[in-house]
């Protein structure tokens, strides 16, 4: 892609206004590529307007909730923008959600419709009340675009900024998923923040290879790219070979990847070849990229932008500077301009410089409530602070260093151990692909530090791990137990689910 158009950060209050502006101003620029098909900005906008008309025909109205299978397919992206454009509320869910999990989402949101493929809908009966109906992708996108009506003449007044646009369910690391009510304003301010920190321009081609239920898609890199009139390439799934093929074929310049994806990419036999030469940087979300992965990417000439964000914040609230490879692996960068960030002690007071505590965030991108069947439940305290439950510290450069979860701290023999610190030290051990650390009950120590390792071949022994940590970490932080596992338990967005690690222990 070529061009010099770089518009200012979006000012319209409703989610999707940036696409309308692009369709008006640069209609022929390439907006979206998926599999063997592509859409200009004008074509993408027309597809959205036609889907608005179909949703209206099926009876979806302003304020209705629409549950959507968040599959990585263009129909889902078009549906996302159509639902929110007409003032309805999108409820994206992971494409492999079980019937029981879907029942929880529907019970909380009382949707007007569920949109998915036939396999997803099979065995999931329609709402007995008759209010909720099921739609397949073919119902909304039947392939007759040449004759399909657009939304002209319908009541499509733009939603207000305070209207809820998306209910994004968390991955349930606390045991029960929560529906985060993200307003149009929340998502707009998230975009403003991202555009301030990320080097996205009209010549960029961004690769997205995650499910569309991920907040990094709803409020992240693809939205920033479209706001700058760039091109988004949508992968149907993440696979290292496919990822590399797409970078080569579409001259990808930037991509979003959770740390596990980035780690698999660096270990692929084609990583050192020329097929990745156009890839300038990767945005790491879910957690900062671990040291070994980040170093390999930098050596390959691929920059890493680490970020810290949550579903409740609409996407990133900190971003590291592109091109920096120094500092601890857990450093996630400085706060964005429209977010306040505090690190507090157990009493809720600010911690001294460099001291760890719980991370609190506040700002217009942060959701103020959760959506429940009984009505909205506050997500923030009376002063507007969201208590993340994550532990971090602010370093001398003003950067946030994330050191774990408040409840994840391992207390062994009276000493506190941050799992993330041990994980970052172990990931560079030869043969280790992924690692997670947690506490296991022990009659003597209270808890013992336990390493769960995904390895190449037989993997390291406990003695190998201790030898590797000698000189790197204090002895009380060394694992006393080791479990080599085929995979780490992760939620729908790829986030590690530490509470499930105990189920992997051998008796």
Percent helix, strand, coil in the chain (nearest 5)?
A: 30, 25, 45
- Structure confidence at residue 443 (pLDDT): 66
- 3-class SS letters over 390-403: EEEEECCCCCEEEE
Report CA-CA distances (Å) from 233 to 47, 106, 289, 366: 17, 31, 22, 28
35-44 pLDDT, tens per residue?
A: 889 999 999 9
What average pLDDT is seen over the chain? 86
Q: Say yes or no to pLDDT of 97 above 50.
A: yes
Give the model's pLDDT for residue 2. Answer: 37
Could you identify the residue written with the tokens 């990745």? 276
What does the block give as tokens for 505?
A: 């222990």
What are the pLDDT digits (tens) for 461-483?
A: 999 999 999 888 878 889 999 99
The pLDDT of residue 327 is: 57
Give residue-wise pLDDT tens across range 191-212. Answer: 999 999 999 999 999 999 988 8
Residue 329 is predicted with a pLDDT of 59
- pLDDT one-digit tens code per residue, 227-274: 999 999 999 988 999 999 999 999 999 999 887 788 889 989 999 999
Helices 419-426 and 462-469: crossing angle, nearest 10°?
A: 100
Does 175 score more than 50 pLDDT?
Answer: no
Mean pLDDT of 62-74: 93
CATH ID of 188-345+386-405, from 3.40.190.10, 3.40.1670.10, 3.40.50.12780, 3.40.50.300 = 3.40.50.12780
Per domain, the residue ranges of the chain are 17-183, 188-345+386-405, 409-504
DSSP 431: T
- Ordered DSSP codes for 183-230: EHHHHHHHHHHHHHHS---TT-EEEE-S-TTSHHHHSSHHHHHHHTT-
* Fold category of 409-504 in CATH: GMP Synthetase; Chain A, domain 3 (3.30.300)
User: pLDDT over 70 for what percent of the chain?
Assistant: 87
The DSSP symbol for 496 reads: B
Higher pLDDT: 411 or 117? It is: 117
Does the pLDDT at position 174 exceed 50?
A: no
Instruction: Note the pLDDT of residue 3.
Output: 42
Helices marked H in 376-444 — which ranges?
A: 419-426
User: What value does the mean pLDDT take over residues 164-171?
Assistant: 88
Distance CA 469, CA 492 (A): 32
- For residue range 326-344, what is the model confidence (pLDDT) as tens digits? 556 568 889 999 999 999 9
User: What is the mean pLDDT of the segment spanning 391-399?
Assistant: 89
pLDDT band at 173 (very low <50, low <70, confident <90, very high): very low
CATH class of segment(s) 17-183: alpha beta
pLDDT value at residue 4? 40
Q: Do domains 17-183 and 188-345+386-405 have the same CATH topology?
A: yes
179's tokens: 């529906």
CA 315 to chain centre: 7
> Residues near 443 by Cβ (< 8 Å), separated by ≥ 6?
none
Res. 288: pLDDT tops 70: no
Distance CA 20, CA 24 (A): 6
Q: What is the pLDDT of residue 332?
A: 86
- Which of the pair, 486 or 2, is modelled with greater confidence? 486
Residue 155 has pLDDT above 70, yes or no: no
Please provide the DSSP assignment of 14-55 as one string. Answer: STTHHHHHHHHH-TTSEEEEETTEEEEHHHHHHHHHHHHHHH
Comparing 288 with 44, the larger pLDDT belongs to 44
Query: CA separation (Å) from 198 to 224, 233, 254, 320, 334?
Result: 8, 18, 10, 9, 12
What was the pLDDT predicted at 317?
A: 93
HSE of 347, CA atoms in CB hemisphere, 13 A: 3
Phi-psi region of 348 (alpha: psi -120 to 50; beta: other; left: phi over 0): left
- pLDDT attached to residue 315: 85
Dihedral angle computed from the Cα positions of residues 474, 475, 477 and 479, in that order, rounded to the nearest 10 degrees: 150
Distance CA 140, CA 105 (A): 22
21 contacts 7 by C-beta, under 8 angstroms: yes
pLDDT in the model for residue 262: 87
Q: Residue 133: CA atoms inside 13 Å, Cβ hemisphere, count? A: 10
Tens of pLDDT, residue by residue over 298-315, are 999 999 998 898 889 988
**385 band by pLDDT with thresholds 50, 70 and 90:** very high
């Amino acid at each position: 892609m070529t061009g010099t158009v770089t518009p200012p950060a979006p000012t319209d209050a409703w989610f999707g206004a940036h696409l309308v502006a692009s369709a008006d101003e640069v209609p022929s620029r390439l907006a979206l590529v998926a599999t063997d098909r592509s859409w200009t900005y004008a074509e993408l906008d027309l597809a959205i307007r036609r889907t608005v008309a179909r949703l209206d025909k099926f009876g979806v109205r302003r304020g209705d909730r629409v549950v959507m299978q968040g599959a990585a397919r263009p129909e889902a992206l078009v549906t996302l923008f159509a639902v929110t454009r007409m003032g309805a509320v999108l409820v994206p869910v992971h494409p492999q959600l079980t019937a029981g999990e879907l029942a929880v989402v529907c019970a909380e949101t009382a949707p007007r419709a569920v949109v998915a493929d036939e396999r997803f809908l099979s065995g999931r009966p329609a709402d007995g009340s008759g209010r909720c109906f099921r739609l397949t992708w073919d119902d909304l996108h039947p392939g007759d675009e040449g004759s399909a009506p657009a939304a002209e003449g319908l009541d499509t007044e733009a939603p207000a900024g305070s209207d809820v646009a998306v209910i994004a369910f968390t991955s349930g690391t606390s045991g029960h998923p929560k529906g985060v009510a993200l307003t149009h304003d929340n998502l707009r301010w998230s975009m403003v923040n991202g555009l301030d920190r990320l080097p996205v321009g009209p010549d960029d081609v961004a690769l997205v290879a995650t499910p569309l239920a991920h907040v990094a898609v709803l409020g992240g890199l693809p939205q920033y790219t479209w706001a700058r009139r760039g091109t988004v390439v949508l992968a149907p799934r993440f696979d290292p070979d496919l990822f590399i093929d797409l970078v080569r074929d579409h001259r990808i310049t930037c991509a979003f990847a959770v740390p596990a994806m980035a780690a698999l990419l660096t270990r692929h036999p084609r990583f050192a070849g020329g097929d990745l030469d156009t890839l300038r940087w990767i945005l790491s979300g879910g957690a900062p990229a671990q040291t070994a992965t980040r170093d390999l990417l930098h050596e390959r000439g691929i920059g890493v932008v680490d970020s810290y964000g949550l579903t409740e914040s609409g996407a990133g609230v900190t971003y590291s500077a592109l091109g920096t490879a120094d500092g601890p692996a857990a450093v996630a960068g400085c706060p964005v301009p429209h977010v306040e960030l505090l690190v507090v002690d157990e009493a809720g007071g600010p911690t001294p410089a460099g001291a760890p505590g719980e991370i609190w965030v506040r700002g217009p991108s942060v959701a103020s409530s959760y959506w429940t069947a009984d009505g909205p439940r506050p997500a923030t305290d009376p002063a507007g602070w969201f208590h993340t439950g994550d532990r971090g510290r602010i370093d001398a450069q003003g950067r946030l260093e994330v050191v774990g979860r408040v409840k994840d701290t391992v207390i062994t023999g009276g000493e506190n151990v941050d799992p993330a610190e041990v994980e970052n030290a172990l990931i560079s051990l030869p043969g280790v692909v992924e690692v997670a650390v947690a506490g296991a009950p022990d009659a003597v120590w209270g808890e013992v530090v336990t390493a769960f390792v995904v390895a190449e071949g037989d993997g390291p022994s406990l003695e190998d791990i201790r030898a590797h940590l000698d000189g790197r970490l204090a002895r009380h932080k060394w694992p006393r137990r080791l479990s080599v596992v085929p995979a780490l338990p992760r939620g729908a967005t790829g986030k590690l689910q530490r509470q499930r690690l105990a189920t992997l222990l051998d008796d």
